[in-house]
């Protein structure tokens, strides 16, 4: 099959993904073989490709926002039938037995596998995954518009839940890429006002179009104290700036898997019961709840399409803030 292969992590400017011919995967026990239609491009893919996340499998096929059709089922896989439309996300598998899995916190599993990082992902024509970690994709969403929901969407949803907001609450977003452009639609649906801070003016325009009450540069102060803020951008210097915008007892949620170092800041910024919390991965329940909600709202994603062979170009544009909404690779036409 055709796939984009990462042999050694390198800066994306060097176009490290090789568009190559590799062996087709075969579904093992409990697994399904999926013909990939599209695969979303996520900032985590950049962190894998550039080596900010330590390499776990080499070479590796990145990509963890896969939409495709079931083609074949392995031994004992009975959940899906050939032709079913499904999604495969970042959480590829958990052990199901560790203390976190037992406690219903499978996102924190001690022995997880991650799609497109510790196992091969969806920048390829075919992918295998355990059927229990595969999501049915609701009707009413095209393949390309569904793809960004599978990571950007689900993680944004988990961030929103952690922010614990009611109707009329004021919520800040730092960074306005793929996750934020979905999360704002959920926030608006819940009656929450969004104040979007982002360095890129094109992203400010999209935030306004999608109903942001206010937009500004990364370090501009929103006009009201915020009940919570979510940091989507991977820049640690945002943390003290965002703390300054919170009311007493406000929550700061960090949505990224990787962030540059957070500079030291005076305790006063945190005192008065402000909270900082990171979000790590997601549970399958998050994914199922969110996809149901996405179809109900319905969420409209903005996507920029690229052929699979141009994954390097899509990732370079993502790094340069040149994507409005989400980048998606088309694998089958
Ligand atoms: Zn576990
Ligand atoms: Zn992701």
Over residues 176-188, the pLDDT tens digits come to 999 999 999 999 9
Task: Report the candidate in 150, 244, 232 with the shortest Cα–Cα distance to residue 199.
Answer: 232
Using the mean position of ligand 1's atoms as its centre, give its distance from the Cα of residue 63 in Å: 22
Per-chain residues with Cβ under 5 A from ion ligand 2 = 42, 44, 151
C-alpha to C-alpha distance for 64 and 53, rounded to whole angstroms:
15
Q: How far is the CA of 216 from the centre of ligand 2 (A)?
A: 25
| pLDDT reported for residue 57 | 98
Rounded to the nearest angstrom, the distance between the alpha carbon of 282 and the centre of ligand 2 is 11
Q: Output the CA 53–ligand 2 centroid distance in Å.
A: 13
The pLDDT mean for the chain works out to: 97
Report CA(29)–ligand 1 centroid distance (Å): 19
- Ligand 1 centroid vs 88 CA: distance in angstroms? 19
CA angle 144, 299, 108 (to 5 degrees): 85
In the predicted structure, residue 172 carries a pLDDT above the cut 90: yes
CA angle in degrees (0–180, nearest 5) for 136-142-148 = 75
Ligand (nearest to CA of 109) = 1
What ligand has the least distance to the C-alpha of 66?
2
Contact 224, 242 (CB under 8 A): no
Distance between CA atoms of 27 and 254, rounded to whole angstroms? 36
Tens digit of each residue's pLDDT (9 = 90 or more) over 117-169? 999 999 999 999 999 999 999 998 999 999 999 999 999 999 999 999 999 99
With H, G, I as helix, E, B as strand and everything else as coil, classify residue 17.
Answer: strand
Averaged pLDDT, 3-24: 98
Q: Does the pLDDT value for residue 314 go beyond 90?
A: yes
201, exposed or middle or buried, with CB in 10 Å at 0-12, 13-18, 19+? exposed
Q: DSSP state, 271?
A: T
As a dihedral over the C-alpha atoms of residue 120, residue 121, residue 125, residue 126, rounded to 10 degrees, the angle is 60
By percentage, how much of the chain surpasses pLDDT 90?
99
If phi over 0 gives left and psi between -120 and 50 gives alpha, with beta otherwise, what is residue 175?
left
Ligand 1 centre distance from Cα of residue 103 (Å): 9
Q: Residue 53 in contact with residue 104, Cβ under 8 Å? A: no
Of all ligands present, the nearest one to the C-alpha of 53 is 2
> pLDDT per residue over 224-280, tens digit each?
999 999 999 999 999 999 999 999 999 999 999 999 999 999 999 999 999 999 999
Residue burial 280-300, b: 16+ Cβ < 10 Å; e: rest:
ebbbbebbebbbebbbeeebe
pLDDT for residue 333 is more than 90: no
**Does residue 315 register a pLDDT over 90?**
yes
Centroid of ligand 2 to alpha carbon of 214 (angstroms): 26
User: How far apart are alpha carbons 25 and 87 in whole angstroms?
Assistant: 17
pLDDT of residue 327: 98
Both tokens of residue 2? Answer: 């055709």
C-alpha atoms less than 13 angstroms from C-alpha of 133 in its C-beta half-sphere: 26
CA–CA gap between residue 333 and residue 322 (Å, rounded): 24
* 43 CA → ligand 2 middle, Å: 6
pLDDT digits (tens, 9 = 90+) for 24-83: 999 999 999 999 999 999 999 999 999 999 999 999 999 999 999 999 999 999 999 999
CA of 153 to the centre of ligand 2 (A): 9
Whole-Å CA distances, 107 to 93, 149, 282: 10, 17, 5
pTM for the predicted model, two decimal places: 0.95
Residues surrounding ion ligand 1 at CB below 5 Å? 94-95, 98, 101, 109
- Determine the pLDDT at residue 54: 96
Burial label for 205, CB within 10 Å (0-12, 13-18, 19+), is: middle
| Residues whose CB is less than 8 angstroms from the CB of residue 83 and which lie 6 or more positions away in sequence, other chains included | 69, 70
């Amino acid at each position: 099959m055709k796939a984009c292969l990462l042999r050694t992590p390198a800066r994306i400017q060097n176009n490290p993904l090789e568009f190559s011919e590799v062996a087709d995967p075969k579904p093992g026990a409990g697994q399904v073989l999926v013909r990939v239609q599209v695969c979303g491009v996520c900032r985590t893919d950049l962190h894998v490709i550039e080596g900010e996340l330590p390499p776990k499998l080499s070479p590796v096929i990145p990509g963890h926002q896969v939409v495709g059709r079931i083609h074949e089922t392995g031994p004992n896989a009975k959940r899906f039938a050939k032709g079913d439309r499904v999604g495969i996300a970042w959480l590829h598998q958990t052990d199901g037995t560790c203390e976190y899995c037992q406690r219903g916190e499978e996102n924190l599993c001690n022995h997880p596998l991650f799609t497109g990082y510790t196992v091969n992902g969806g920048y390829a024509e075919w992918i295998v995954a355990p059927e229990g970690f595969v999501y049915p994709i609701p009707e009413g969403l095209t393949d390309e518009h569904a793809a960004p929901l599978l990571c950007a969407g689900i993680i944004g949803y988990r961030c929103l839940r952690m922010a614990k907001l009611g109707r009329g609450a004021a919520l800040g977003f730092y960074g306005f890429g793929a996750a934020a452009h979905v999360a704002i639609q959920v926030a608006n649906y819940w009656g929450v006002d969004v104040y979007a801070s982002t360095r890129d003016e094109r992203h400010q325009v999209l935030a306004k179009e999608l109903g942001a009450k206010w937009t500004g540069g990364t370090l501009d102060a929103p006009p009201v104290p915020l009940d919570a803020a979510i940091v989507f951008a991977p820049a640690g210097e945002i943390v003290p700036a965002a703390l300054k915008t919170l009311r007493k007892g406000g929550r700061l949620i960090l949505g990224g898997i990787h962030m540059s170092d957070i500079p030291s800041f005076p305790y006063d910024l945190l005192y008065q019961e402000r909270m900082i919390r990171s979000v790590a991965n997601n549970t399958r329940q998050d994914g199922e709840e969110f996809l149901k909600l996405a179809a109900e709202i319905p969420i409209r994603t903005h996507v920029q399409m690229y052929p699979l062979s141009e994954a390097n170009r899509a990732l370079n544009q993502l790094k340069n803030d040149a994507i409005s909404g989400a980048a998606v690779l088309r694998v089958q036409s």
